């Protein structure tokens, strides 16, 4: 299956999935190069708001899309510029059979359960491990200040 057909199928699968925790912000199928989604985490301290993630497809499915969380986030695995530190997104970790929905599920899982073996921010990771209450407070403040309104 060509990359464009595969991408179209993956995008349609998300649009028709009726998922409550992953919402497509782009419903137009005309432009597939960049797609935006709203992720709704279920665990504290991120579950009060939603987070916009942008996927840019350059060589999909042979290579992982470029992933950026557009909503400012205080998280051990998310850099200040929104880049996500997730093994699945590396050349070594990417598998062409991974669908967009599976990728978004992994990002959502990462938001809910940080991976401290691959932190993007060492300081936040140390705070998460050693001073969880302080981390939760800082993360919750960011969520309330920068998070997107959760859809009904």
Q: How many Å separate Cα 147 from the centre of its chain?
A: 13
User: Has 68 been annotated as catalytic?
Assistant: no
> Are 81 and 14 a contacting pair, CB within 8 Å?
no
Which portions of the chain are predicted below pLDDT 50?
A: none
- For the chain, which domains are there? 3-146 (3.10.110.10)
Q: What is the pLDDT of residue 2?
A: 63
Catalytic-role residue among 85, 98, 103, 111: 85
How many whole angstroms separate alpha carbon 87 and alpha carbon 80? 18
> Are 39 and 53 a contacting pair, CB within 8 Å?
yes
At 4, is the secondary structure helix, strand, or coil?
helix
Question: How crowded is the C-beta side of 14, counted as CA atoms within 13 Å?
Answer: 26
Q: How many Å separate Cα 116 from the centre of its chain?
A: 16
Tokens (6 digits) for 76: 């051990």
Tokens (6 digits) for 7: 């991408």
């Amino acid at each position: 299956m060509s990359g464009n057909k595969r991408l179209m199928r993956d995008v349609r699968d998300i649009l028709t999935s009726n998922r409550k925790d992953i919402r497509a912000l782009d419903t137009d199928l005309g432009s597939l190069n960049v797609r935006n989604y709203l992720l709704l985490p279920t665990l504290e301290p991120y579950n009060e708001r939603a987070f916009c993630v942008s996927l840019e497809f350059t060589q999909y499915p042979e290579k992982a899309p470029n992933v950026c969380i557009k909503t400012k986030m205080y998280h051990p695995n998310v850099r200040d510029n929104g880049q996500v530190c997730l093994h699945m997104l590396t050349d070594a970790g990417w598998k062409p059979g991974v669908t967009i929905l599976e990728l978004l599920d992994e990002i959502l899982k990462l938001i809910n359960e940080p991976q401290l073996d691959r932190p993007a921010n060492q300081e936040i990771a140390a705070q998460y491990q050693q001073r969880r209450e302080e981390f939760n407070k800082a993360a919750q403040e960011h969520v309330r200040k920068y998070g997107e309104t959760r859809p009904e």
